[in-house]
Every structure is written in structure tokens, then in C-alpha cells.
Amino acid sequence: MRSLLSAYDSLTAWLASRLPESLALLVLRVALGGIFWRSGRTKIEEGTLFSISDQAYALFEYEYTGLPLPPAIATPMATLAEHLLPLLLVLGLFTRFSALGLLVMTLVIQVFVYPEAWWQTHILWFAMAAILVSRGGGLFSLDAALAGWRTQ
């Protein structure tokens, strides 16, 4: 029994070390970034790099009516955020800032757009972003590379 507990302790110590945590943070960054990136791409004219579609403006005007900003401001802000923050997140650059931005976006969506979606969707986005805000990007991030460069 003692050897089983010792093996368990060794395994949990390794799983809590930087390498497995960093792999999990990388997967988490890609997963959360992918959710928002795909949403942002639905707001762009097909065949363009970043031309916001008329449908996106209509969505903000007629469906997202609870937002406290006019559609002419909210549409480009959200579209830009849904492209820039996931890109930074996947690269692991300014990870905590990017995740905090997505956490705030999640709360705005929850409060003003889809208040009924907390338990189905938004709590997962919130939890994913909160972990990245608290833990950062891990070893496999540009943040870690920049931190190493700054200390040399």
C-alpha cells in the first residue's frame, strides 16, 4: 500500500510540474482562442481579410439589442477583439491581458446578450479565461520566451 501511495505521490508531483501544466495551458489557449476566433470570422465578408460584413452590423443592431454601445461602435470593437485577442492568446503573447479581455467579453455577452447561457456555455469560457489570467501562458508561450530574454 505504501508503494502505491508513493507512486501516486510521484505521479501527482510530475503532473503538477511545469511541463505538463504548460502543455495543458497551451491546449487551453488554443481552445479558448478558437472559440472567439471562429465567432469573429463569422462577422467578416467572405474572401476578405478583415472587412466587416453588413450582416454583422445587423446582428448587433437587431439581435444584440441589450448592449450599452451603439452597433456602429460595438460591431467593430467586438470583431477586432475576437480576432486580436485569440491571436495573442494562441501565440502566448500578453496571455493574461488577452485572457482577461476574453473574460470581460464573456461577461458582457452573458449580461447583455445571452443571459440564459451561463450554465450551458459561458461558465466554461469564464473558467478557461480565469485559469489563463491566473496561470499565464506557460513554457510554450512568447511570454515565457520574452521573460527569459529580459532576464539575460
Q: Kindly report the pTM of this predicted structure.
A: 0.91
What is the CA 8 to chain-centroid distance, rounded? Answer: 32
Residue 17 lies in a domain: no
* Number of domains composing the chain: 1
Residue 62 lies in a domain: yes
Residue 5 lies in a domain: no
The tens digit of pLDDT for each residue in 3-59 reads 899 999 999 999 889 999 999 999 999 999 999 999 999 999 999 999 999 999 999
Predicted local distance difference test score (pLDDT) of residue 37: 98
Expressed as residue numbers, the domain containing 60 is 22-151
The tens digit of pLDDT for each residue in 77-126 reads 999 999 999 999 999 999 999 999 999 999 999 999 999 999 999 999 99
Burial of 4 (0-12, 13-18, 19+ CB in 10 A): exposed
Q: What is the DSSP letter of 84?
A: H
Residue 135 lies in a domain: yes
Number of other CB atoms surrounding residue 152 within 10 Å:
4
Neighbouring-strand partners of residue 44: 52
Closest by alpha carbon to 139, among 1, 39, 17? 17
Q: What is the DSSP letter of 51?
A: -
